[in-house]
Structure 1
Amino acid sequence: MSTPTDSRTDPAAGAPSRGRIALVTGGNRGIGRSSALRLAADGVDLILTYRSHPEEAEAVVAEAEALGRTARALRLDTGRVEDFPAFADALRDALKQGWDRDTFDYLVNNAGHAAGGPIAATTVEDFDGLVNVHLRGVYFLTQTLLPLLTDGGRIVTLSSGLTRFVGPGFSAYAAVKGAVEVFTRYLAVELGPRGISANTVAAGAVASDFAGGLVRDDAEFQARIGAATALGRVGLPDDIGGAVAALLGEGTGWITGQRIEVSGGQQL
């Protein structure tokens, strides 16, 4: 005889029956913005963070509200671990004021930046900056927010296709993303008893302002990447945002501890 499941705690049961809330870091532009708005289109309410450009964040909030969702924007520098306790307090306030709740459902660790260069030319400052945002920040922000993440919730962290194939000049960036993929598998095991899933979405080359708009603005680079990609082009933010939203949708709660590459088949 089967036992009824509670969709709040059983990851196989799909989305919770009550309203869902996603926290998306770096949700004001690029992949973060696309992920946030795709989630909003799927009926998910939003809290998005931004480090700078509050006007961009408020524009995303307005777009989400136009879709009928409740949304808030909070400032956060994910490279400053010392700010995380205060951010958690601000998040508690936002949850109480906006939803009369003390938990949220989905954490999307998206915020980040690129710093490239050959191994011989990589500086300690560039390396530390990448570690602080993409590894130290992800690790300790997730740790800080675990008490606020509902049982049966989900965590998605953005990684990179560069952990599978090599793009000369991105060794430090790829290394910290590889570490995040390992961390995610540990999250999946340690949070499994709470019904929380954890996965990484590894993006291929995307035409955005990331890395100074390298992929977006360089037509020759785009053509070269497209020729080495099964689907024949570079990615767009919506390609990745759609995958993030799908991974947080109904029917995917049984996926955990996985690295899911969304690259159009780059360098297969």
Structure 2
Amino acid sequence: MTPSTTPTTSTTSTPRIALVTGGSRGLGRSIALHLAAHGTDVILTFRSNEAQAHDVVQRIQALGRRAVALPLDVADSGGFAAFAGRVQQVLATTWRRERFDQLVNNAGTGLHAPIAETREAQFDELYAVHLKATFFLTQKLLPLIADGGRIVNTSSGLTRFTFAGAAAYAAMKGGIEVLTRYMAKELGPRGIAVNTVAPGAIETDFGGGRVRDNADLNAQIGGLTALGRAGLPDDVGGAVAALLSEGTGWITGQRIEVSGGMVL
């Protein structure tokens, strides 16, 4: 599959380059677009919907940035080495660079099921997509991340507050928060800052679109949130772009919740 890319003229001689997994939809799409609006070029990944990914590429290009979309199934860790090779190739051909600057581990899938009804296969899929992928994809990409770069891992407000049916999902996100601190410790000598962003309930198609499409649930969440509503993708996209902007490189090993003050 050919990556979707049309180089545009960069407004700086050495633009930042971010790699955003799951960047074709939902939070990843918003993160990619906000980063581009802040002057960052983007490599984004998609699992199956190339048309969605190409639309994001075009929107990034309309902002005057360069963008490439690459296919990636984060559930298949056996494909990570080949993916890293493709990233190396597009860095050379599109940017004439050997390294990128920022990695956002965003791709994910949801599950709403009580502990008593969660199947082992569902648990294994969550583990592969969230915790295992964050660990081993980052491992494979480390040689391509510039010293002084940044990594943002995506967690969830559900590691702080609890709702029935989220146990397996939240457990994986709890693992990501611990992993983030270890990454920050081990990658600190390279000047790489690593943090966790933990969204609250967001109106996307994630988890079947429950928060977006269920009016009663949406209203319930608004009532539990200090700012009085459920979150929107741009709430998270803007926060991640701010965290990856200049002036925040001294922040590392932190969990930053982006929930509008949910269940305070």
Q: TM-score by structure 2 length?
A: 0.95
Equivalent residue number for residue 136 of structure 1: 132
**Aligned structure 1 segments of 4 or more residues deviating by more than 6 angstroms:** none
Structure 1 residue 244 displacement after superposition: 0.4
1:1-43 CA-to-partner distances (Å, cap 9, x unmatched) read xxxxxxxxxxxxxxx9821000000000000000000000000
**Corresponding residue for residue 187 of structure 1:** 183
Which deviations, in whole Å up to 9, do the C-alpha atoms of 1:104-156 show, x marking residues without a partner? 00000000000120000000010000000000011000000000000000000
2:78 corresponds in structure 1 to 82
> Which residue does the alignment assign to 2:16?
20
Does residue 263 (structure 1) correspond to residue 259 (structure 2)? The answer is yes
- Aligned partner of 1:93 in structure 2 is 89
CA distance in 1, matches of 2:195, 2:38: 20
Name the amino acid aligned to 1:261. E
The equivalent residue for 1:57 is: 53
Residue 201 (structure 1) shift:
0.3
1:249 match: secondary structure: coil
Alignment of 1:45 with 2:16, yes or no, is: no
Distance 1:256 1:223 in 2: 34
The separation in 2 between residues aligned to 1:215 and 1:17, in whole angstroms, is 42
Which residue number in structure 1 is paired with residue 219 of structure 2?
A: 223
Correspondent of 1:239 among 235, 256, 260: 235
Aligned counterparts of 1:117 and 1:149: Cα–Cα separation in 2: 37
Aligned partner of 2:17: which letter?
Answer: I
Q: Does residue 167 of structure 1 match 2:141?
A: no
Higher relative contact order (CA 8 A, sep 6+): 1
Query: Which residue number in structure 2 is paired with residue 33 of structure 1?
Result: 29
Gapped runs of 5+ residues in structure 1? 1-15
Q: Amino acid of the residue matched to residue 42 of structure 2? A: L
Instruction: Note if 1:211 corresponds to 2:194.
Output: no
Instruction: Encode CA deviations 1:156-188: one digit per residue, 9 max, x unaligned.
Output: 011100000001101000000000000000000
Query: d(CA) in 2 for partners of 1:233 and 1:217?
Result: 14
Provide Cα deviations, 1:28-68, integer angstroms capped at 9, x if missing partner. 00000000000000000000000011000000000000110
Equivalent position amino acid for 2:40 in 1: V
Q: Determine the structure 2 residue equivalent to 1:5.
A: none
% of aligned pairs identical? 62
Taking the aligned partners of 1:241 and 1:167, their CA distance within structure 2 comes to: 24
CA distance in 2 between counterparts of 1:195 and 1:17 reads 22
d(CA) in 2 for partners of 1:60 and 1:152?
27
Structure 1: distance between partners of 2:134 and 2:72:
12
TM-score between the two structures when normalised by the length of structure 1: 0.93
1:10 maps to none
Name the structure 2 match of 1:13. Answer: none
User: CA-to-partner distance for each residue in 1:60-86, whole Å, 9 max, x for gaps?
Assistant: 000000110010000000010000011
CA distance in 2, matches of 1:96, 1:166: 45
Equivalent residue for 1:116, pick from 112, 116, 125: 112
Q: What is the total number of aligned residue pairs between the two structures?
A: 253
**Match of residue 146, structure 2, among 133, 146, 150:** 150
Alignment of 1:96-107 (within 5 A): 96-107=92-103
Partner of 1:154: helix, strand, or coil?
strand
Structure 1 distance, partners of 2:237, 2:164, is 26
Q: 1:194 to 1:17 in 2, by over 3 A?
A: farther
| Paired residue type of 2:112 | G
